[in-house]
Amino acid sequence: MKEDKKWVNETIEKNKQKYIDCLLKLASIDTHDIGHGIEGGLEGAGQEYLVQLFNEMQADSVEKDPLKEESILKCKELYREGNTGHNYENRFNVYATLNGKSEKSILFNGHIDHMPADNLKAWDIPPLEPQVIDDRITGLGIADMKAGLMACIMASMVFRDAGKEFPITVKYATVCDEEGGGNGSLCAAMSGVKADAVVVCEPTNYELIAAHMGWVFFEVEVEGIAVHSGLKLAGVNAIEKAYLLMQAIDDLEHRWLLKYKHQLLPPPSSNVGVICGGEAGSTIPDYCSFKTCVHYLPGVMSHEQVVQEYTDAILKRCEGDEWLSQHKPKISIYQTGNPFEMDLSHPFVSAFQNAYENAMERPVKIVGSPAGCDSRTWHNIVKCPTLQYGPGSLEQCHTVNEYVTVDQYLDAIKIYVNLILEWAEK
């Protein structure tokens, strides 16, 4: 591998401006989701640019796969994954394959969509005019996750620029609608896209993510009786009743904290993120709703268990209240995602560890992520050994002046090239 490492480093150093320019080009194309993907997305122009880039790299196949509601419905039925009712006009995944000496394969996955720019006045530059400023590549969607997406593509460009043959088949799945809950990769899974190993190129800040938490979004709606606040005893305050239920799920969270642990992940949690209720201080509110997100652990907890225990905790608290016992709240679920955990003894893990050490001359730290991503799709549904690694950090996602450092980007390219070489030998 010493000889391989030398040509890799030399090729990246010689062509680094080209690799940076490709990222700047992609980041200049607006590919944001509209309403978290429910109302649509602008990914089409960015995907067309990647089709052009794959063709310029002489990929053996390049395919556009339109996102379809029927794929999400099928996935939801089979795997309890998928977010229905999204607008898919001009939204399509792109799959590319570059054949190697061996049919053994590796697939790089990334999403091209990003969140829209907020608070434009706080940006130092126009968000869609990305620039290299000192040691940072700054622009909208750079960290989440155009740098990771372009870095894995440039890894194949390194082979082309060095005149080297691919030792294995390298595949790509660049997907839409990830910010809407991961529908793009779910559609890819339903279309039969797979490989012998998968890398999800989300930002990991020089760490290797081998697990992430699952999540369930709940909405709880409570009714009351509206009267003038001067006649408070004649009414029922829905906000106060909702607060009783929030206390119940706080108590459940505390029980979970004492019971469940994971070597790579934080403890399970429940967060009340939205409360809606009331019209005026002089009126007893007859309606209150609150929305929560539960994050739970792989292996020791399940979706069914979380839903059951959450519902039971709320309904049990209702039994102790005269009003709630007769007027049960409406409990609904509006988004879910399963957890992910990779077997650390799998050869793909050691291949990545070797690749990282070859590239960076130090061992990689293996961690878990509290934030879910498409890793769950490739591991749980497609049944591929899956790891998550990419340039940038979670803290830079969805932020003003979003950036990755130049070194993070170029190092990721180097690590991906070494991973292709290492996986060929496993």
Per-residue model confidence (pLDDT) at position 3: 52
Contact assessment for residue 269 and residue 294, using Cβ atoms and an 8 Å cutoff: yes
Contact assessment for residue 290 and residue 276, using Cβ atoms and an 8 Å cutoff: yes
**Which residues, at least 6 apart from 249, have a Cβ–Cβ distance to it below 8 Å?**
270, 272, 292, 310, 313, 314
Per-residue model confidence (pLDDT) at position 180: 87
Per-residue model confidence (pLDDT) at position 1: 42
pTM: 0.91
**Helix/strand/coil percentages in the chain, nearest 5:** 40, 25, 35
Token look-up 């209150």 returns: 288
Token look-up 């408070």 returns: 232
Answer yes or no: do 169 and 306 share one domain: no
Around 341, how many Cα atoms within 13 Å sit in the side-chain half-sphere? 16
Domain of 293, CATH number, reads 3.30.70.360
Per-residue pLDDT of the chain (426 residues; tens, 9 = 90+): 445 579 999 999 999 999 999 999 999 999 999 998 999 999 999 999 999 999 999 999 999 999 999 999 999 999 989 989 999 999 999 999 999 999 999 999 999 999 999 889 999 999 999 999 999 999 999 999 999 999 999 999 999 999 999 999 999 999 999 998 899 999 999 999 999 999 999 999 999 999 999 999 999 999 999 999 999 999 999 999 999 999 999 999 999 999 999 999 999 999 999 999 999 999 999 999 999 999 999 999 999 999 999 999 999 999 999 999 999 999 999 888 899 999 999 999 999 999 999 999 999 999 999 888 999 999 999 999 999 999 999 888 889 999 999 999 999 999 999 999 999 999
Answer yes or no: do 349 and 322 share one domain: no
From its phi and psi, is residue 115 left (phi > 0), alpha (psi between -120 and 50) or beta? beta
- Domain-ending residue, one of 317, 337, 357: 337
CA distance 76 to 83: 8
Answer yes or no: do 192 and 315 share one domain: no
Per-residue model confidence (pLDDT) at position 4: 58
Domain of 69, CATH number, reads 3.40.630.10
What is the tally of structural domains in the chain? Answer: 2
Q: Domain residues for 124? A: 2-212+340-425
- On the question of a cis peptide bond just before residue 145, with omega within 30 degrees of 0, the verdict is yes
Answer yes or no: do 188 and 222 share one domain: no
DSSP state of 114: B
Q: Residue 135 burial (CB < 10 Å; 0-12/13-18/19+)?
A: exposed
DSSP state of 225: B
Answer yes or no: do 162 and 48 share one domain: yes
Answer yes or no: do 177 and 292 share one domain: no
**Which residues, at least 6 apart from 41, have a Cβ–Cβ distance to it below 8 Å?**
31, 32, 33, 34, 87, 91, 113, 176, 177, 180
Answer yes or no: do 24 and 109 share one domain: yes
Answer yes or no: do 200 and 277 share one domain: no
Contact assessment for residue 248 and residue 313, using Cβ atoms and an 8 Å cutoff: yes
Answer yes or no: do 58 and 94 share one domain: yes
Axis-axis angle for helices 347-360, 406-425 (nearest 10)? 130
